[in-house]
Chain A
C-alpha cells in the first residue's frame, strides 16, 4: 500500500493561518525534538513571536524507559523564558498515541505553572492511547500502525515528511 504524503510546506502555511489570531505578545512556542523543533522554528519566524523559542527533549520523561532505556542522542531542553503564568503553544510534527505530549507537559510543569498549554501539530494520525487533543492541526492522515511518520528537513531548510524504519 502506498500512502500519498501531503506537502509539509503547505501544511505549515495552514498552521500559520490558524495560529495567527491566537498569538499575543505574551505567547510562547515550544517545539519537541526533533521534528517538532523544525516546525516550531518555522512557525516562530512566520508568526513573528517575540518570546524566544523553547525546545524540549522529553527523553527523561518517557513512559517506556524501563523497556527501551535512554535514547542514545539526547539534546538538552532549553526554555529561555519564565513558564509561570505563560500561555504556551506546544509544537510537534506528528500526533499519534499522545504519550510524547504527556511527557512534554510533565516536563514543562517542572519549569513552572503555565497559564495554559495548547497543542499544534502538522499531522494528526489518530491512534490515541491517552486523552490528548490538538487545537491546531495541519492535516489528518490515516497511517498504518507499523509505519513511523516523522518530519525531516532538507539542507535548504525545506520541510519533508518521511517514514522511518
Chain B
C-alpha cells in the first residue's frame, strides 16, 4: 500500500506523521527551513510563495501556541489564514468532522492544518479531500505531532550537526506524548544510534523497546553522557486515574535540575516543546540556563512550518 502522505510521484502531499517518511524528504524539509530562517531575519519577513492560497487552521482541540506558529508561518508565506476554533463552534452543534471539511472545501481551501484530540483524525480528512488539497497534522491524540518532531530535528541538527553520533534522552511523560513518538521516529530515520526514554514505569508505554529505544527508570542513569536532553511536558490534562502520586514527587525523581544535567555531556543541549511546567519537569535554573535552546526551538519552528507548507503546496 502506498504511504497515504505521498502522491503517485512519491512527493509529499500531506504531512500526517514522520513514521515511514524517506530520509531524503526529511532532509529536504530541513534544508528548505534553513533558507526560511534567513527570511524571518529580514526587513520584510514575507515571501510571495503562497499568495492567493487559503490555509484553514482547524483546531478541534485548543492550542494557542501551535495555532499561532502555523498562522505566522502561513502569513509569512503570504497565504490567507482562517482560524477555526471548532472546539466551540459547529462541532459542538453536532456537525460531523467530514461535513465540516466538505463545507470548508467548498470555500476554496487549499490547505488544512488539523489539531484533533482523536488519533487518526487528520488521516481521515486527508483520505476524504480532493487531490489538490493538502493536510498538515498539527497534533492528533497520542499519535503524532510531525512538525514538532521536525523542528526538534532541525534544532538538534543546528547545534549538533551530525545525527549519526548522538545520544539523545527523552524524559518524562512518554506515554501521553505524541511529541516523543514523532521525535523517536525522526531520529531513528536520520540514523541516531543511541536513543533513550526516561520516566516512571507508569508513564512509559509498554513495549517502548520495540521503537528502538533504551528504557531507563532512573534519571541519573539515563542522562549519563547524552548530547541532547528532551524534556516532555507533564500532561496532567491527559492523565486519567492515578498514574502519578504528585507533581512534587515527580519533580523529585524526574525533574531536570542543574545537578542532574551535570551528568550529561558538558556541551549538552536541553530542549522542551513548551509550555513549561517550571518546578514540575524542569527547574528554572535549567530552563533559563546556558544549555537550554527552548526559545531557539520556537524560532526554528516557524521556519520549519514554512518549509512544510511550501513543499506541500508545490506538490
Contact = CB atoms under 8 A, between A and B. Distances in A.
Interface string A69-91: 11011111110000100000000
B47 to A, nearest CB: 4
B303 to A, nearest CB: 11
Nearest to B24: A72
Contacts of A76: 34-35, 37-38
B44 A110 contact: yes
B43 A111 contact: yes
B162 interface: no
Interface in A12-55: none
Contacts of B42: 110-111
Interface residues of A, number: 23
B43 A74 contact: no
Interface string B24-49: 00001001101101110011101111
B221 interface: no
Given A61-B48, A106-B48, A72 B28 contact: yes
Given A110-B43, A110-B44, A111-B42, A74 B31 contact: yes
B92 to A, nearest CB: 37
Chain B interface bracket (under 10, 10 to 19, 20 to 34, 35 or more):
20 to 34
B315 interface: yes
A137 to B, nearest CB: 29
B31 A70 contact: no
A76 B31 CA distance: 9
Interface in B207-249: none
A34 to B, nearest CB: 14
A112 to B, nearest CB: 6
A74 B32 CA distance: 6
A23 B43 CA distance: 26
A109 B42 CA distance: 11
A77 B38 contact: yes
Contacts of A2: none
B35 A59 contact: yes
B72 interface: no
A149 to B, nearest CB: 25
B310 interface: yes
Which residue among A61, A76, A78 has the maximum number of chain B CB atoms within 10 Å of its CB? A76
A69 B314 contact: yes
B203 to A, nearest CB: 39
A53 B22 CA distance: 36
Contacts of A77: 35, 38-39
Contacts of B47: 60-61, 107, 110
Interface of A: 57, 59-61, 65-66, 68-70, 72-78, 83, 106-107, 109-112
Given A77-B39, A112-B43, 11 more contacts: A60-B47, A61-B48, A69-B314, A74-B31, A74-B32, A76-B38, A77-B35, A110-B43, A110-B46, A111-B42, A111-B43
6 tightest CB-CB pairs across the interface, nearest first? Answer: A69-B314, A110-B44, A60-B47, A70-B314, A76-B35, A76-B38
Interface of B: 11, 28, 31-32, 34-35, 37-39, 42-44, 46-49, 310-311, 313-315
